[in-house]
Chain A
Amino acid sequence: MSHERCAVIGIGQTKYSAKRGDVSMPGLLREAAQKALADAGLGWKDIDAVVIGKAPDMFEGVVQPELFLAGALGAVGKPMMRVHTAGSVGGSTAIVASHLVSSGVHKRVLTVAYEKQSESNAMWALSQRFPFQPPVAAGAGGYFAPIIRAYMRRTDAPDHIGMKVVVKDRTNALKNPLAHIHDPEISIEKVRATPMLWDPIRYGETCPSSDGACAMIFSSDGSEVANPAWVLSTAMRSEPMLFPGRDEVSPRAGRDCATSAYKDAGITPADIDCAEIYVPFSWYEPMWLENLHLFENGWRAVDEGKTELDGELPINMSGGVLSSNPIGASGMIRFAEAARQVRGTAEAHQVDGAKIAMGHAYGGGSQFFSMWIVGKERP
């Protein structure tokens, strides 16, 4: 394992919204990076390297963002790289950046992930009709809906569970001023009344399309601030999209990733005070609760309110992906929000006394998983 430590000393997020027409793409990232620098009490010159992540290139038509964005991130003359693992990219970008610190290569690293969905159309990008194929591609929802149906059948979950997750997350979002969706009237009935897009996924059970960026600054000794979050462990796993016997509902890569993250942090799932997990469609909360070994029966945990802000294990205190979804940044937001909890800086959506928190992201056809465990105490 790592020799040096890695501490989160700065966190910056833009407000998430449907369209940030007032800034360019570089300007959007810069806004998050400058907030993170201010949070850490640092300037551009204090940063040794920059690691960025974004959604797949077709999602916004930008290739080689590391060339395009260096000027906006104070990276001129510094090492800069891009990480790329589909929807989990925000998580894996943070992990790669943290390793540059924990390995002793750099003292302070800035990491930023972003997406400007208003400039493009992710649904179009994910629904290409490739040669030799039948026209079955229908966006991320088209891919995940059959898997959600399989989960419902496998566990005999009642229909209202997904809607309950939405109500919980969007109620949490009301306490997070940065969240894209603020809907004070959110209710099961309101979600139920929304149209089915990809049956069994209702419109009300899907994530929004957001513009936004998230940044963090890592340091090897955490001395820059009074309340750093310490990275206790990181883990990534991947698996092919299709093979015989693949459990698409609870992929082995996700289970192994979680096992590895807990083991390396020296904890069990019971030690986690709260978690931010990647839930772009409501049903993925109970599915991941099981996949990540947090609850044996995910939907019952949801049904019994165990994942609410004041529950046994609060999940997605910030409102989650269901309330804000700049795809390339969504994973990093999970990681950053976990760090905010143990730093005690989550303001209105703070979980009292949170000492250990988990951030999680997944991407592709549930093929890439990235996780970290962060703690209040220096390991």
Chain B
Amino acid sequence: MTTVELVSPFVLEYAYKRSTGPVIGRFLTALRAGRIEGVRTATGRVLCPPVEYDPETGEDIVDFVEVGPEGTVTTWTWVAEPEPGQPLSEPFAYALVKLDGADTAMLHALKCGKDALVTGMRVRAVFAAERSGMITDLAYFQPADLPAPELVPVPAEHPVTRFKAPVHAEYTVAAGATTAEFLRGILRKELNGRRCPSCDKIYIPPRGSCPLCGVRTSEVVPLAQKGTVTTFSIIRIPFEGQVLEPPYAAAHVLLDGADVPLLHIVGDCDVDDVRMGMRVEAVWVEDLQPTLASVRYFRPIDEPDATYESFKEHV
């Protein structure tokens, strides 16, 4: 087994749409107006940022209190090299700021020189010029003795009830030794399975171990590039991130000699002609890459359909 690594980038991103509920909605609505609000619990503590439910009693929270805009730093950490997406592009501190009137501290960016940073320092909220009902409407804190930029009014709209929460995660996916070996075969237009030494079953795409027997698969078995459609679906629904133009046929293709079906596309024919038992062969793309997508699709061949009896144990 080879040890050469085969990796591929994979990006996962989506903008979730959050409903705020009444408490967080009111907090964000106030931020948009350039004010900071906390909530008062049953025992009289003022929490900012607010929470929806009293952490001591579990009861609903209904009492709002304006806090700040000045406060005191209770602790901090220095960010010497800000990364994209962080609140400030110049070096800054992440600080916990207990706003005047609040009993809890809020985490936010603090814009000041490192030399000026000290626990207990007085700071003031600075609001962004453009505000839309997000936590970033409060742009950052700065030392309280510096002149604060004037608050730019934004038109009062309906209360904030929703915001977008984009996520973006970058992965580097490693194929692993067995899949890498299979994908290198693809570069030679080979479809190679692996056999389990215990039950003799042949897997394609190959697996490093047999899920039935729990033992390592050992032998590489070149498979025919022909097979049988055991079952399929016609994808007619359009959806976000779709690669192929619907309608198209997604099929279980049982390659001759294999014991598990390969999930792939059936092309080069009318989707309405696709049927169980149809005989097909692999069609390769011109620019071969180490991916099963280098098989563009499977296309029908001029052979009689396989009988249902011959493949029924595979569906």
A binds B: yes
- Selected interface stretch from A99-107, A113-121, A292-300: A113-121
User: What residue of chain A has the Cβ atom nearest to residue B293's Cβ?
Assistant: A134
Distance to closest chain A CB from B56 (angstroms): 7
Contact status B58-A132, CB under 8 Å: no
B18, B56, B183: which has the most chain A beta carbons within 10 Å?
A: B18
Q: Do B292 and A244 touch (CB < 8 A)?
A: no
- Centre residue among B58, B241, B308 by max chain A CB count within 10 A: B58
Instruction: Using A61-B14, A132-B291 as known contacts, say yes or no to A21 and B162 having CB atoms under 8 A apart.
Output: yes
Whether B19 pairs with A199 at a CB distance below 8 angstroms is no
Smallest Cβ distance from B168 to chain A, in angstroms? Answer: 11
* Distance of A133 Cα from B243 Cα, bound (Å): 12
Q: Is the CB of A243 within 8 A of B212?
A: yes
Residue of A nearest to B162 (CB): A21
Which partner residue on chain A sits nearest B291 by CB separation?
A: A132
Total number of A residues with any Cβ neighbor in B under 8 Å: 61
A284-324 near B? 1/0 per residue, CB < 8 Å: 00000000000000000000000000000000000000000
B52 touching A139, Cβ below 8 Å: no
Quick one: which of B252-310 are within 8 Å of A by CB? 252, 259-260, 263-265, 276, 290-293, 295, 308
In the assembled complex, how far is the CB of residue B294 from the closest CB belonging to chain A, in whole angstroms? 9
Contact B167 A61 (CB under 8 A): yes
Residue among B161, B234, B313 with the highest chain A CB neighbour number at 10 A: B234
Tell me the bound Cα distance from A4 to B162 in angstroms: 46
**Complex interface: stretch among A83-91, A123-131, A218-226, A332-340:** A123-131
Chain A residues whose C-beta falls within 8 Å of the C-beta of B57 in the assembled complex: 44
Q: Which residue of A lies closest to B200 (CB)?
A: A244
**Do A27 and B52 contact each other (CB < 8 Å), given the known contacts A61-B14, A134-B263, A146-B250?**
yes
Binary CB contact string for chain A from 262 to 278 against chain B (1 if under 8 A, 0 otherwise): 00000000000000000
Q: Given A27-B21, A153-B276, A198-B233, is A72 in contact with B52 using a C-beta cutoff of 8 Å?
A: yes
Expressed in whole angstroms, the Cα–Cα distance for A130 and B55 within the complex equals: 41
A128-B241, A142-B250 known; A60+B293 contact, CB < 8 A: no
- Known contacts A71-B55, A124-B240, A136-B250; decide if A243 and B260 are in contact (CB<8 Å): yes
> In the complex, how many angstroms separate the beta carbon of A202 from the nearest chain B beta carbon?
10
Question: Given the interface contacts A121-B240, A136-B263, A147-B231, does A128 sit within 8 Å of B17 by beta carbon?
Answer: no
Please tell me if B121 contacts chain A, counting CB pairs below 8 Å. no
Q: Which residue of B lies closest to A121 (CB)?
A: B240
Chain B residues whose C-beta falls within 8 Å of the C-beta of A198 in the assembled complex: 233-237
* CA distance in complex: A375, B161 (Å): 43
Contact (Cβ within 8 A) B53 A119:
no
Establish whether residues A138 and B241, one from each chain, have CB atoms under 8 Å apart when the complex forms.
no
**Contact residues in A for B308 (Cβ distance below 8 Å):** 153
A20 to B161, CA, bound (A): 11
Indicate if the CB atoms of B237 and A139 lie closer than 8 Å. Answer: yes
Q: B175 on the interface (CB 8 Å rule)?
A: yes
Residue of A nearest to B294 (CB): A134
Question: C-beta contact mask, B1-43 vs A, less than 8 Å → 1, else 0?
Answer: 0000000111010101111111110000000000000000000
Q: Contact partner of B8 among A125, A132, A135, A243, CB < 8 A?
A: A132
Whether B18 and A24, one on each chain, are in contact in the complex, defined by CB atoms closer than 8 angstroms, is yes
Given contacts A61-B167, A76-B56, A142-B250, contact A248 B315 (CB under 8 A): yes
Across the interface, B232 reaches (CB within 8 A) one of A120, A123, A146, namely A146
Task: Answer yes or no: A22 CB below 8 A from chain B CBs.
Answer: yes
- Using A22-B19, A123-B240, A127-B239 as known contacts, say yes or no to A133 and B12 having CB atoms under 8 A apart: no
Residues of A within 8 A of B86 (CB): none
Q: Which B216-258 residues have C-beta < 8 A from chain A?
A: 230-237, 239-244, 247, 250-252
B189 at the interface (CB under 8 A from A): no
When distances are taken between beta carbons in the complex, the residues of chain B under 8 Å from A125 are 14
Residue with the greatest number of chain A CB neighbours at <10 A, chosen from B173, B235, B247, B312? B235
CB atoms of A145 and B233 under 8 A apart: yes
Q: Are B16 and A61 in contact (CB under 8 A)?
A: yes
Interface of chain B, main secondary structure: mixed
- Pick from B8, B52, B162, B250: contact of A138, CB under 8 Å: B250
A248 vs B259: C-alpha distance in the bound complex, in angstroms? 14
Chain A residues, CB < 8 A from B23:
24
Q: How far is the CB of A119 from chain B (nearest CB, A)?
A: 5
B242: chain A residues at CB < 8 Å are 127, 135, 138
The proximity string for A residues 136-170 relative to B, scoring 1 for CB distances below 8 Å and 0 otherwise, is: 10110110011101100110000000000000000
Partner of A23, one of B21, B211, B239: B21
From residue 180 to 201 of chain B, which have CB atoms closer than 8 A to chain A?
183, 199, 201
Q: Is the CB of A197 within 8 A of B290?
A: no
B21 touches A24 (CB 8 A): yes
Q: Does A353 count as interface, using CB distance less than 8 angstroms?
A: no
A22 to B159, CA, bound (A): 12
Cα A61 to Cα B15 in complex, Å, equals 9
Chain A residues whose C-beta falls within 8 Å of the C-beta of B116 in the assembled complex = none
Q: Which residues of A contact B210 (CB under 8 A)?
A: 243
**Beyond A24-B24, A132-B291, A135-B244, 11 additional pairs, beta carbon < 8 A:** A24-B21, A61-B14, A61-B16, A123-B239, A125-B14, A138-B237, A146-B232, A147-B231, A154-B315, A243-B260, A248-B315
Q: What are 5 A-B pairs at a CB distance below 8 A?
A: A27-B52, A76-B55, A76-B56, A120-B16, A196-B236
